[in-house]
Amino acid sequence: MIRLDHTHVMSTFHQYRPDSPSRVKKGLANTLCTALEVHAQLEEEIFYPAVRAVTQNDVIAKSLEEHQEMRRLIGQLRQMEPDTTGYDETVADLMRDVMHHVADEETLVLPEAERLLADQLGELGMQMTKRRLQLVRPRSGEIALDMGRAVSGHTVALAMVGVTALGLLVARRSGHLDLSRFKVGKSA
């Protein structure tokens, strides 16, 4: 789930162009900000405490510092308009910081978590999925508006299929979804 979030954010960053219309830039930047806010909260509430509980190596401290810097840049972006001087540079600063954070997390934190929490990853994924729904539900209108500003309908449809498939996979792996009662084959 964390890697999927990273992929989504990096993909959105790569869509951002300083010469895009203001509406598109604002939609992409807001999409990034919301995704990063939700992602950071999930990590801080659920994932990081689980990692800290099983290791003396405090790889989490640096991640928390990086989250604070991301929040600072997100706060700046939320106060700016796309045609404001410095907007594109602030998005670039956020992108640079996130890329560094993703690299650290995917090379240091996640491998350690996969090794030390292998038997708990399904449950952690379910907890994070449940919490994600709680966090995005009140912001669903805002999220839809920003995505509508920023991406085509085809991209949104693919993202929704991916999120649904991931949710089903996590539910099935954790034992919360039993597909054995559904038969695959010809229908009448």
Q: What is the pLDDT of residues 76-95, one digit of tens each?
A: 999 999 999 999 999 999 99
Cα angle 69, 50, 97 (rounded to 5 degrees) comes to 20
Mean pLDDT of 13-34: 94
185: left (phi over 0), alpha (psi -120 to 50) or beta: left
Amino acid code (one letter) for 8: H
- Contact yes or no for 78/34 (Cβ under 8 A): no
pLDDT in tens, 102-150: 999 999 999 999 999 999 999 999 999 999 999 999 998 888 888 888 8
What's the confidence (pLDDT) of residue 16? 94
From the list 147, 158, 153, 137, the residue with the least C-alpha distance to 26 is: 147
Model confidence at 151: pLDDT above 50: yes
* % of the chain residues with pLDDT over 70: 80
Cα 115 off chain centre by: 22
> What does the pLDDT average to over 7-32?
94
Distance CA 116, CA 120 (A): 9
> What confidence tier does 152 reach under pLDDT thresholds 50, 70, 90?
very low
CA 178 from centre of chain: 27
Residue 178 reports pLDDT greater than 50: yes
The secondary structure of the chain in percent helix, strand, coil, rounded to multiples of 5, reads: 80, 0, 20
User: Token pair of 115, please?
Assistant: 């090794």
Give the pLDDT band (50/70/90) at residue 182.
Answer: very low
With H, G, I as helix, E, B as strand and everything else as coil, classify residue 55: coil
Inform me whether the pLDDT recorded for 188 exceeds 50: no
Q: For residue 58, name the pLDDT band (cuts at 50, 70, 90).
A: confident
**pLDDT score at 165:** 64
46/57 Cα distance (integer angstroms): 18
